Amino acid sequence: MTPKDRAVHHFRAHFGKSPALVARAPGRVNLIGEHTDYNEGFVLPVAVDRAAWVAASPRPDPVAHIVAADMGKEAIFSLNPVPPREGNWADYPRGVAWALGGRGFVLSGMDAVLASDVPIGAGLSSSAAVEVAFAWTWRTLSGLSLERTELALLCQRAENEYVGVRCGVMDQMASVWGREGHAILIDCRTLEVEHVPVPPGIAIVVADTLVRRELAASEYNRRRRECEEAVRILAQHLPGIRALRDVTPEDLERFGRYLPPLLLKRARHVVHSNARVLTVVRAFRAGDLETVGAAMRQSHISLRDDYEVSSPELDTLAEAAWEVPGCYGARLTGAGFGGCIVALADKDAVDELERHLKRAYEARFGRTPTVLVCQPSGGAQAEAV
């Protein structure tokens, strides 16, 4: 049974009626542009064909009654006011209601069922998919005048300020702006979006190390501070810059000598990563997958050596992927220290790629990585049932 069918089936079983609508919001994977978002740079995610689904109907009182079909749990909470966070799965829909209410929107009460096939903790941003699915549901049921980017920003606010997870806006932007067959170039300074066609016959393969990112939060914050300090020093020689986004590779070649060695490495990763994202966009448009793959490999090496956020597990999977004919490139995706790699491969090469990744990983670590094959998907939407 598909997650959409599960959501509708559980809704009918639980509430004794049919839902008025079903909303869908996809997960995402980032093809290239890692740790560039908080440096006001560029990222290139794709929305994937795995999504969170919400089957819902309005109710007359300002209450949300939500059932999580996959967990067998439910939550009932007021929308006026939204109660404080509880530290569980329902904080995501609660946080969305809190952020929408804080924006001044009056929300319809609703009965809802959530079902999803976005794996939790596998680097496909299951939390953003859930947030956007509920935001889109309320947008539809309540008749909210809310365009896609503002909806993504409100979902980010829910995660930052209500749930308490400090994230950028890429995940939510990819979920609302996804387009079938396309990647999404996001300018993290202006939030401008450009859809970039991914050539047909290509598969996006995500391999999960099954290592969770215990170090990621503290190291992530340290990297942000290091980037800010690099900007402070470089601004003495490049007046007017406010982020590493404003520094070109040529600038860094001229003025990098003023940075301590560690900060030079961090800046070099970010500055060249922004350039690589734009190179990949041009290469996709030209159908030049060899250039795309080379940039992905360079990105992984930079994340490993200059930004120092890789791990033996991530390196093993990326290097194994590079060995497979028909795999153009692979790199770690996400904050690092665990999680996943993403690879771009011909569809005909996917079976051998999956076998080789599992063999290499099992030989070194004695366990089997989870491998998912994805396609670029459309963004958030709702339909009447």
| 3-state secondary structure (DSSP) of residue 67 | strand
Q: What was the pLDDT predicted at 215?
A: 59
User: pLDDT tens digits for 260-309?
Assistant: 999 999 999 999 999 999 999 999 999 999 999 999 999 999 999 999 99
Q: What is the dihedral of CA 125, 340, 271, 328, to 10 degrees?
A: -120
Contact 167, 255 (CB under 8 A): no
Residue 226's φ and ψ, nearest 5 degrees, are -65, -40
Given 37, 117, 171, 306, the catalytic residue: 171
For residue 286, count CB atoms less than 10 angstroms from its CB and return exposed for 0-12, middle for 13-18, buried for 19 or more: exposed
Question: What was the pLDDT predicted at 337?
Answer: 87
**What's the per-residue H, E or C state across 306-372?**
CCCCCCHHHHHHHHHHHCCCCEEEEEEECCCCCCEEEEEEEHHHHHHHHHHHHHHHHHHHCCCCEEE
Q: 218-227: per-residue pLDDT in tens?
A: 788 899 999 9
Closest CA to 314 of 365, 271, 355, 267: 365
Catalytic residue flag (residue 171)? yes
Using CA atoms of 14, 7, 372, 328 in order, give the dihedral in degrees to the nearest 10: -160
* Nearest alpha-carbon partner for 48 in 28, 31, 32: 28
Q: What does the alpha-carbon distance between residue 80 and residue 305 come to, in Å, rounded to a whole number? A: 50
Spell out the residues 6+ positions from residue 331 whose beta carbon is closer than 8 angstroms to its own.
Answer: 32, 34, 296, 297, 299, 300, 303, 318, 341, 342
Cα distances (angstroms) measured from residue 349 to each of 288, 343, 368, 373, 375: 18, 11, 19, 12, 15
**Low-confidence stretches of the chain (pLDDT beneath 50):** none
d(CA 331, CA 29): 12
Cβ pair 108, 58 in contact under 8 A? yes
Reference 152, options 100, 105, 197, 87; nearest CA is 100
Cβ neighbours for 265, distance < 8 A, ≥ 6 positions apart: 305, 306, 307, 308
Among 372, 334, 206, 187, smallest CA distance to 274 is for 187
Task: For each of the domains in the chain, give its residue range(s) and CATH number, in order of start.
Answer: 3-197+377-384 (3.30.230.10), 203-374 (3.30.70.890)
Distance CA 130, CA 141 (A): 17
Tokens of 333: 């995706």
Any bridge partners for residue 29, and if so which? 46
Quick one: pLDDT at residue 213? 65
From residue 254, how far is each of 229, 236, 242, 276, 361 by CA, in Å?
A: 18, 13, 18, 20, 41
Q: For helices 170-177 and 126-141, what crossing angle results, to 10°? A: 50
DSSP 3-state of 161? helix
How far apart, in whole angstroms, are the C-alpha atoms of residue 15 and residue 11?
6
